[in-house]
Amino acid sequence: MKQNPPQHTIKSVHIVPSYKCNLSCSYCYAKKYVAEYPDLTWEQFLELVDMLLTENIRDVSFIGGEPSIWPYIDKAIALLKSMGVKVGLLTNAVVHTKALPYFVTVNANNIVGDLEKKITENLQWYRKNKVSVCLRFNLSKEDTKKTTQHRLDLIQKYADTVSIAPIVPYKLTKELGAVIYNFVRQVKKTGRKINISRALPICLFTAAEYDYLKKNAGVYSICGPGRRHVVLNPDNSILPCVDINHKFHLESGLNSAQKDCKKLVSELKGVYAHVECKDCEHFKIRCQGGCFSMHIKNNKI
């Protein structure tokens, strides 16, 4: 019997096989989930794969925690690739997988000090094996010229593409906007493609800066978690994104879970993340005041 096509608009999913990690970054979202979620078992993963194929999902990324330390990661990557699924990995690259994903996105803030040699060796290994490497940097207005130059050197040596976002939480200052704008301009000179991965408030930038970033780094000020992608937890629940710890269950499929996600996002759009947003002409029309994780933290939703 012919199945009805899925009604959801989800194109990709992020699977969290484990929230455990081999590092302990101060700003990481995953720490608060470690005690709540046990690791994904192989049997649970196979059930997820069946569901994803039924729902016509062909784009999967493993995130964490640190997905490369999940015992089944190599077997999982190989299985998905054999089924024609595009597989990615969001990783700190302290260790590399044996199986080859199509791309890795690396938390590049960690490529310093004692970790730098180990991580860059693994980046070289991925690139040697034709895996596309995206370096992801979390920016702050406290970043020094030395820090910025080090990041540009890493981009020149190891990156195919670059992704950036400010460290959350942050204050609405033009200083932070200038840091983001100037970093994008410097990366563009390397010839690498760069994108901004979080919704950013319009007021961080001058009109000229915002126009430049929209054209050259895809800046946006309203996002839609749960619309194009979702996060699948080890307990078979769904988060709209990793920063929004409001979970929905999969029993009725992705279509029903997506409706629940959209309802939550609609509610979040009705609150403001910063007191400055309250009287802003752009709020809820062109801008949501930053990542929804800040709405939750600032309003204790």
How confident is the model at residue 297, as a pLDDT?
Answer: 65
How confident is the model at residue 213, as a pLDDT?
Answer: 98
- How many Å is the Cα radius of gyration of the chain? 19
Non-local (6+) Cβ contacts of 43 within 8 A are: none
Taking the C-alpha atoms of residue 91 and residue 67, their distance in angstroms, rounded to an integer, is 7
Non-local (6+) Cβ contacts of 271 within 8 A are: 295, 299, 301
Give the ranges where the chain is alpha helix by DSSP (H). Answer: 42-54, 73-82, 115-128, 145-158, 174-189, 207-217, 254-268, 292-299
How confident is the model at residue 144, as a pLDDT?
Answer: 96
The matching CATH number, chosen from 3.40.1360.10, 3.40.50.720, 3.30.479.30, 3.20.20.70, for 12-269 is 3.20.20.70
Token couple for 202: 């319009």
Taking the C-alpha atoms of residue 231 and residue 29, their distance in angstroms, rounded to an integer, is 13
| Residue 283, φ and ψ in degrees, nearest 5 | -65, 130
163-191: pLDDT as tens digits: 999 998 889 999 999 999 999 999 999 99
pLDDT 10s per residue in the chain (301 long)? 344 556 678 889 999 999 999 998 877 778 888 888 899 999 999 999 998 998 899 999 999 999 999 999 999 999 999 999 999 999 999 999 999 999 999 999 999 999 999 999 999 999 999 999 999 999 999 999 999 999 999 999 999 999 999 998 889 999 999 999 999 999 999 999 999 999 999 999 999 999 999 999 999 998 877 778 889 999 888 888 887 878 887 776 788 888 888 888 778 877 877 888 888 988 878 998 888 877 666 665 5
Domain map (residue ranges) of the chain: 12-269
Whole-angstrom CA distances from 81 to 13, 18, 96, 274 are 15, 20, 17, 43
How confident is the model at residue 296, as a pLDDT?
Answer: 66
226-274: pLDDT as tens digits: 778 889 999 888 888 887 878 887 776 788 888 888 888 778 877 877 8
How confident is the model at residue 299, as a pLDDT?
Answer: 61
How confident is the model at residue 140, as a pLDDT?
Answer: 95
How confident is the model at residue 2, as a pLDDT?
Answer: 41
Q: Are 240 and 261 in contact (CB under 8 A)?
A: yes
What's the whole-model pTM score? 0.93
